[in-house]
Amino acid sequence: MFESLKKKFSRTSNKLTEELTEEAKEENNIEDSKEEIENINSDDENNDSNNDNKPSFFSTFSRKKDEEEEDVKTDSVEQIEEVTEERTDFFSELAQKKDEKEESGNNKEIVEDSKKEESSSFFSKFKRNKEEKVDETDEEEIAETETIGDETEEIVEDENSGFLSKYRKPKDKDDSNKSGIFSFIKEKTISEKHVEDILFELEMGLLEGDVAMDVANTVVDSVKNDLIGQKIKRSSDIEEYTYDALKNAVSKIIDVPGKSMTEMIEDKKAKGEPLVVMFVGINGTGKTTTIGKIANYYINKGYTPVIAAADTFRAGAIEQVTHHADNLGVKIIKHQKGSDPAAVAYDAVEHAKSKGKELVLIDTAGRMQNNTNLMDEMKKINRVAKPDLVVFVGDALTGNDATEQASKFNDAIGVDGVILTKADADSKGGASLSIGYVIKKPILFLGMGQSYDDIKEYDAEWMLGQLFSSDTVIENESE
């Protein structure tokens, strides 16, 4: 869910980090990464009293590496001296043998045998010494790795704890000195030139993710205002500021104020009246199934709903909503196909009042927002039943189309809230991010699956957590 938006946000952070890093390299404005890592480890030890005596992985590794280099240098000098001495003795012996061989007339054969013996002795000894040294080094490194294994995992986790780090491609070992944590010698200030291209790319990415144009512009402008002028000392600051700027921008978009349906039921119940809810939307968005889910949701909360089959345009629609009502044990009010839908809605409201039921759910015919005749019919239902809530049901997978449809219905009859279906399958997240902001009405529920329990009351904080969390598993939190 929302994977596309997560990746776009992460790419924005990475691009800005690269932009400032390249500029700092040209200005020779980057401190040594090794020294910086040691400084950060030192700061972490000072800030955490429980880890005062805990060795740093990177500092331990660096110190061990230096010690090994010194050992290698010392051993190499000793090997060279030892080999040189052996070669001197060997050639002295060879010269003596040569003299003796010349006297016996077999000089050529001895020299050849001696060369073979010298080559074999010299290189085999050097190779043997080298292999012994490698074996000793490997054993020491393995022992050291086992000793500090737990701390290694903690440091690696800290290195990867940046903004949405799960979407970053793993870096090759050869590139370890080209990126990571580093400091700027001189404090850098984020300017408009640093973010101009990056934010243009973000805007295009949001539009590709089915985010409405107005929403994309608002997000980009907010991020720009929050970033420009920020002073940064090290690379991790860039990620932090970008993360905060994006989260701040999105939080303004998705949190549209409004009462929940549950609060409205309680308000009406206190007056001895049912809450009347009319559902509108085009065909195929899951409107009728959503009515069944809402009925089940409030049955579980202790309320008693009644359903009005006011979609008399299609006989199949009456059968479908009746099927859901029967499954849930909910009373349904219905007339013949082709009867007046406003009359069906009116009868359902009167039934709820007489029986003391708290909730009336009115199903209406699915229609395109540009169908004038059917829109007029829906306006009549609105006048007769006088619903407390007109809820637009949209398919999250249609993205910008859902936002456009909601705008048209809002202009025609006035929409009070939105329910998005198939939100669990929405990888882009454009409709979820845009629809409430565009029509200035809150999202009430999210459809999260096929069963009656698969519906979630909308929570802006939960939504924000999904957009800015590396956790991709969404759990249904039906109450």
**11: domain CATH number?**
1.20.120.140
442/458 Cα distance (integer angstroms)? 9
- Mean pLDDT for 382-411 is 92
Query: Both 217 and 137 in a single domain?
Result: no
Q: Is 35 a member of any domain? A: no
Q: Which residue has the higher pLDDT, 440 or 366?
A: 440
Domain termination residue (choose one: 201, 222, 254): 254
165/470 Cα distance (integer angstroms)? 8
pLDDT above 50 for 475: no
Q: Is 32 a member of any domain? A: no
pLDDT above 80 for 176: no
Query: Both 228 and 304 in a single domain?
Result: no
pLDDT of residue 175: 40
Query: Both 372 and 447 in a single domain?
Result: yes
169 pLDDT tier (thresholds 50, 70, 90): very low
Domain termination residue (choose one: 204, 235, 254): 254
| Of the listed ranges 222-231, 270-279, 424-433, the one predicted with least confidence | 424-433
Name the domain count of the chain: 3
Query: Both 72 and 7 in a single domain?
Result: no
Q: Is 242 a member of any domain? A: yes
Percent of the chain topping pLDDT 90 = 33
pLDDT above 60 for 304: yes
Q: Is 37 a member of any domain? A: no
Q: Is 358 a member of any domain? A: yes
Per-residue pLDDT tens for 147-167? 444 444 444 444 444 444 444
pLDDT of residue 425: 83
Q: Is 164 a member of any domain? A: no
Nearest to 432 by CA among 447, 413, 454, 412: 447
pLDDT of residue 100: 60
pLDDT of residue 91: 59
Q: Is 430 a member of any domain? A: yes
Percent of the chain topping pLDDT 70 = 62
pLDDT of residue 369: 55
Query: Both 244 and 278 in a single domain?
Result: no
pLDDT of residue 330: 96
Domain termination residue (choose one: 254, 272, 303): 254
Average pLDDT of the residues of the chain: 75
pLDDT of residue 356: 94
**Any alpha helices (H) in 261-362, and if so which ranges?**
261-270, 287-300, 315-328, 341-355
Residues whose CB is less than 8 angstroms from the CB of residue 334 and which lie 6 or more positions away in sequence, other chains included: 308, 309, 318, 321, 322, 344
Most distant pair of Cα atoms in the chain: their distance: 135
pTM for this one?
0.65
Q: Is 475 a member of any domain? A: no
Query: Both 215 and 106 in a single domain?
Result: no
140/135 Cα distance (integer angstroms)? 9
Query: Both 433 and 455 in a single domain?
Result: yes
Query: Both 11 and 138 in a single domain?
Result: no
| Of the listed ranges 196-200, 330-334, 353-357, 416-420, the one predicted with least confidence | 196-200
Domain limits at 126?
57-147
Query: Both 290 and 249 in a single domain?
Result: no
User: Residue 268: which CATH number?
Assistant: 3.40.50.300
Per the CB < 8 A criterion, the answer to whether 392 and 414 are in contact is no
- Mean pLDDT for 24-39 is 59
Per-residue pLDDT tens for 89-119? 655 666 666 566 555 554 444 444 544 444 4
Query: Both 68 and 102 in a single domain?
Result: yes
- Mean pLDDT for 412-441 is 88
What percent helix, strand, coil does the chain show, rounded to 5? 65, 10, 25
Query: Both 298 and 447 in a single domain?
Result: yes
Query: Both 288 and 218 in a single domain?
Result: no
pLDDT above 50 for 70: yes
pLDDT of residue 216: 92
